[in-house]
Structure 1
Amino acid sequence: MPFLRDDGAPLDELRLAQRPADGPRFELRDAVVYVDPVSGRRYRAPAAGEGPPPSGVTDLASVPSPLWGFIASYGRQSAPAVLHDAQSLAAEALGDPRRALAQRREDDLVFRRALLEQGVPRMRAWLMWAWVSADRERAYAGAAGWLLLGQVALGVLVVVASVVLAVLWGPWWLALAAAPALAALPWRSRASLLITLTYPLALFGPMLLVHFLALVPFRLIEAIVEVFTGGDPAGVVRPTVARPDAERP
């Protein structure tokens, strides 16, 4: 079993406390340990109270609530997500973007391996790795990170355009869909990240759009009901309350 308790026993439960009771974050009650099968390195997510806040605090998998129908914020991915949150805080605490970037690149790969060991389906694990990696590049890679994300957006448009053109004027236009993969090669070690972001976004983008279009009228009706019953229409946006004191306990 890849995840352990502090005493070395297999992790048989993940003890979390939702604080505040209507808030979006959780405190880890007991430390969680992970031994990476590739490097043999021992990683540890400390329990809340072992260090200054927000040490030991997690939002589990950082999936926007409208997308929980595709990837849940908890489940088999909970322990890897808790560990990744702890490692992300440690990288941020370095105070040096270059060192933090290098540390996060290693930690994000460990996150992906942990997801796979927990039985998360391969495509889902790779997508979750790609999204946390994209956020890492945005946060720490500076202009290069924004260039990478811009290339992903352009690549998505190219892939979608190739499909539309193929439908309108012939299947040979599908060859254009290979362009983003070729353009990713100069990024070398980050080429797989570009490809993993570009093609699933192009494939699942229409599904996400339909999902959002269905969700908007539902939330709107919820808000209208709140208005006429004296409730809080703004509260329909999140499944939990997000207050400033809930973000940093």
Structure 2
Amino acid sequence: MPFVDIGPGPDDVAGTAKTEVTLTQLPPGGGSRTCFRCEDWFGWVDELGQVPPADRRVARGAETDLASIPPFLWGLFSSYGRHTMPAILHDVQCDAAKAARRGPGGAPLRAHRRREADDLFRRTLAEHAQLGIMTRWIMWSGVRLFGSLWVGVSVVLGVAVGLLHWSAPVIDAVDDVLSHVATEPWLAFLGWVPSGFAWVLRQLSERLAADQPFGSILLAVGGLTLVLVLLRSVERASPTSPSRWSPQAFGSLLGACAVAVLVLPPMVPLVLVTVVTRLLLWILDLVLHVTWTHVLRMVPQAWRPARRLPRKAPPFPGGFPKP
């Protein structure tokens, strides 16, 4: 079950498995994503010698941001590697699913095609990238849940509420780590940043320590997630077929929710420390920027440093620009 080189013609298929892909980095756009253009034609087949169907083909010129891994998880998962071609094919299929929503099939057709793309993504991670079972299921659950943003957000919110109530030792450990992020003398003036994060965590943990309002909040978040999953499970296989509730889609989303509930708690300390550290770096960038553009302008030209700092303010780390 490999990737194979193909051509623009419907029957132009190589007889050997494809192991390399050529990408060209595109100029930065208005957002924080770094995108690439694929310079190859390739597709996915079940066996060598077969012709890949149209929905499993990547055409030359297709644009991709590779694996959409949040930057605060780069310590665990990379955005490229052995899973580069599976990620490109998944991006192409997701774009096709979005286009289907604007047609007569609407959202149910998009949901069906997105589920098929997510399932194929997990399969290519196993058969082509040969990633570990847990790794590929975590990556699959991420694309499956955040294929509908509100489903993903509701699951993350539910996990956060549960952690704040049940995992006081985890919160204490994160609090302790954050309190040591800016202990160096040259970072003392930024100590309020990690301290502020730690204070917010403590306050939330104390508010949710009792069974109420924790029980009501968790029930509300769980109910909202279930409603969103039920709505997302309405699919249609083609533009002309009727919309139906799909048990397969419902089970798929519940499975992704279960994976997220199991794996998110251990990731929380890494995520919080990464976010706080990135914020500290951004503040330092901003201080240097303000120093150059406002303070050093008052210094005579002859006394200014010969090497100039960028005149453009650094981007806020909420976007976490990719390198």
- TM-score, length of structure 1 as denominator length: 0.72
User: Which among 28, 31, 34 is matched to residue 41 of structure 2?
Assistant: 31
Is the Cα–Cα contact under 8 Å of residues 223 and 236 in structure 1 kept in the other structure? no
What is the aligned partner in structure 1 of residue 165 from structure 2? Answer: 161
What is the aligned partner in structure 1 of residue 300 from structure 2? Answer: none
Which shows bigger deviation, 13-22 or 208-217? 13-22
Matched residue SS, 1:234: coil
Q: Which amino acid aligns with 2:118?
A: D
Is the Cα–Cα contact under 8 Å of residues 26 and 58 in structure 1 kept in the other structure? yes
Matched residue SS, 2:44: strand
Q: Which amino acid aligns with 1:218?
A: L
Quick one: structure 1 residues 206 and 14, their matched pair in 2 at CA, closer, same or farther if it must change by over 3 Å?
Answer: same
Deviation at 1:45, TM superposition (A): 1.3
**Using the alignment, how far apart are the partners of 1:65 and 1:165 within structure 2?**
26
1:12 paired to 2:19: yes
Quick one: structure 1 residues 109 and 204, their matched pair in 2 at CA, closer, same or farther if it must change by over 3 Å?
Answer: same
What is the aligned partner in structure 1 of residue 273 from structure 2? Answer: 210
Is the Cα–Cα contact under 8 Å of residues 4 and 17 in structure 2 kept in the other structure? yes
Matching of residues 42-61 of structure 1 within 5 Å: 42=53, 43-48=56-61, 56-61=62-67
**Using the alignment, how far apart are the partners of 1:26 and 1:161 within structure 2?**
42
Matched residue SS, 1:195: helix
Quick one: structure 1 residues 88 and 36, their matched pair in 2 at CA, closer, same or farther if it must change by over 3 Å?
Answer: farther
What is the aligned partner in structure 2 of residue 190 from structure 1? Answer: 253
Which shows bigger deviation, 14-23 or 211-220? 14-23
Is the Cα–Cα contact under 8 Å of residues 15 and 29 in structure 1 kept in the other structure? yes
Matched residue SS, 1:233: coil
**Using the alignment, how far apart are the partners of 1:86 and 1:218 within structure 2?**
34
What is the aligned partner in structure 2 of residue 247 from structure 1? Answer: none
What is the aligned partner in structure 2 of residue 89 from structure 1? Answer: 95
**Using the alignment, how far apart are the partners of 1:121 and 1:236 within structure 2?**
35
Matching of residues 115-126 of structure 1 within 5 Å: 115-117=125-127, 118-126=129-137
Deviation at 1:128, TM superposition (A): 1.5
Deviation at 1:195, TM superposition (A): 0.8
Give the % identical residues.
26
**Using the alignment, how far apart are the partners of 2:35 and 2:155 within structure 1?**
33
Q: Which amino acid aligns with 1:59?
A: D
**Using the alignment, how far apart are the partners of 1:210 and 1:99 within structure 2?**
40
Quick one: structure 1 residues 159 and 120, their matched pair in 2 at CA, closer, same or farther if it must change by over 3 Å?
Answer: same
1:233 paired to 2:233: no
Deviation at 1:137, TM superposition (A): 2.7
Q: Which amino acid aligns with 1:92?
A: K
**Using the alignment, how far apart are the partners of 2:156 and 2:269 within structure 1?**
16
Is the Cα–Cα contact under 8 Å of residues 90 and 117 in structure 2 kept in the other structure? yes
**Using the alignment, how far apart are the partners of 2:280 and 2:151 within structure 1?**
35
Deviation at 1:59, TM superposition (A): 0.7
What is the aligned partner in structure 2 of residue 142 from structure 1? Answer: none
Unaligned runs of 5+ residues in structure 1 are 49-55, 139-145, 169-175, 241-249
Q: How many residues are aligned here?
A: 215
What is the aligned partner in structure 2 of residue 173 from structure 1? Answer: none
Unaligned runs of 5+ residues in structure 2 are 7-12, 173-214, 231-249, 293-308
Larger Rg, first or second structure (1 or 2): 2
For residues 102-147 of structure 1, give each alpha carbon's deviation from its aligned partner in whole angstroms, at most 9, with x where no partner exists. 1111110110111122122322222221111112233xxxxxxx46
What is the aligned partner in structure 2 of residue 133 from structure 1? Answer: 144
Is the Cα–Cα contact under 8 Å of residues 66 and 212 in structure 1 kept in the other structure? yes
**Using the alignment, how far apart are the partners of 1:151 and 1:14 within structure 2?**
35
Is the Cα–Cα contact under 8 Å of residues 153 and 198 in structure 1 kept in the other structure? no
Stretches of 4+ aligned residues off by more than 4 angstroms: 165-168
1:65 paired to 2:71: yes
Deviation at 1:93, TM superposition (A): 1.2
Is the Cα–Cα contact under 8 Å of residues 4 and 34 in structure 1 kept in the other structure? yes
1:101 paired to 2:114: no
